Structure 1
Amino acid sequence: MTDYTDEERQTLRTAAFGAMMLVSNADPGFFATIKESMAGSKVLAGSSPELRDLLKSGGLPQVPKGSPAEMETGVLAALQQSTTILQSKAPAELDGFRSAIVAACDKVADASGGVTEPETAAVTKVKAALGVG
C-alpha cells in the first residue's frame, strides 16, 4: 500500500468525486444528481483495491467552494495534481486511476436520460486534466 500524506489523499479524493460532480452539475436536476452519483460510485467501487481503499478513507471529500467556474478550476487542478502524485508515488496505479475516473464520469453522464452536450464538454475537460486523449 502506498503511503500518501493526508494532503495527497485529500487531493486524490477531491479529484475523483469532484470530477463526477462536474459532470453531474453540467446537467442539473435533483433526482438526476442522485442517480448519477450512484452510477459513478459503483464504477469507483469496482476499481483496484488500493484506489478503492484510498477513496473510501478520510470522511467526505472536500469539493472546492465558490462559483461554478471556481469549483471547476479547483477540481481540474486536483485532477492534474493527482496525476503528478500518482506518477511519483504509485505509477502502477496511474492508468487505473485515470480509467476509473473517466469511466465513472461516463456513467454519470449517461445515468439520467442520456448524455447531453454540457456533460460531454465536462467529461472532455476531466480527460484533459488527467492527460487522457
Structure 2
Amino acid sequence: MSGYTDQESRTLRTAVYGAMVLVSVAEEGALDEESHAGIRAMAALPPRVRDAVDSGAPELPQGSIEDVEAGVLAALRGSMAFLAAQSPDEADAFALAVVTMCERVASADGDVGRAESAVVGRVRAALGR
C-alpha cells in the first residue's frame, strides 16, 4: 500500500506516465526503445511513489496534444505539491527520477531532438527544477 489517496495515486500515474508519453511523442523515434527506457527508469522512483504508480492503469488527459500536455504538466505540479507537503525528501527524489526518466526516453534512440529537449524543459519547469 502506497499510503496515498486514490486521487493522489491517479495524479502520480498521470504525471509519471504522461511525462514519458510527452517526450516519446515529441519527435519520431524508436517508440519501443523509448518505452523500455522509460519503464526501466521508473525503478528510480521512491518506493511509495512506485507502488502508487503500479497500483492501477495510467490515465492520460483527453483532447489535443496541447490538452494532454497541459493536463500532464498540471499533474506534475500537483504531485510535487502534495509530495512536498508530506515529505520534501520524497518530492525531491520524485522530481529527480521523473527528469531522469524523461532524459532516458529522449536519448533512447541515441539522439535528443530539439522538440524532445523542449518537452523535458517543460517537465523540469513543472517540477520546479
Contact preservation (8 Å) 1:47, 1:96:
yes
1:80-129 deviation line (CA, Å, top 9, x unaligned): 00010101123221011001100000000000141000000000000000
Question: Alpha carbon RMSD of aligned pairs, Å?
Answer: 1.4
With the length of structure 1 as denominator, give the TM-score of the two structures. Answer: 0.91
> What's the counterpart of residue 70 of structure 2?
73
1:30-87 deviation line (CA, Å, top 9, x unaligned): xx122101101101123332222122112x1101110011011000000000010101
1:17 is paired with a residue whose SS is helix
> What's the counterpart of residue 131 of structure 1?
128
Q: 1:80 to 1:44 in 2, by over 3 A?
A: same
**Aligned-partner residue type, residue 40 of structure 1:** G
With the length of structure 2 as denominator, give the TM-score of the two structures. Answer: 0.93
Contact preservation (8 Å) 1:2, 1:89:
no
- How many residue pairs get matched? 129
**Aligned-partner residue type, residue 5 of structure 2:** T
Q: Which runs of 5+ in 2 are unaligned?
A: none
Aligned pairs for 1:38-117 within 5 A: 38-58=36-56, 60-117=57-114
Q: Distance in 1 between matches of 2:123 and 2:90?
A: 18
Q: Which runs of 5+ in 1 are unaligned?
A: none
Identity percentage of aligned residues: 48
Q: Distance in 1 between matches of 2:4 and 2:46?
A: 16
Q: Distance in 2 between matches of 1:25 and 1:2?
A: 29
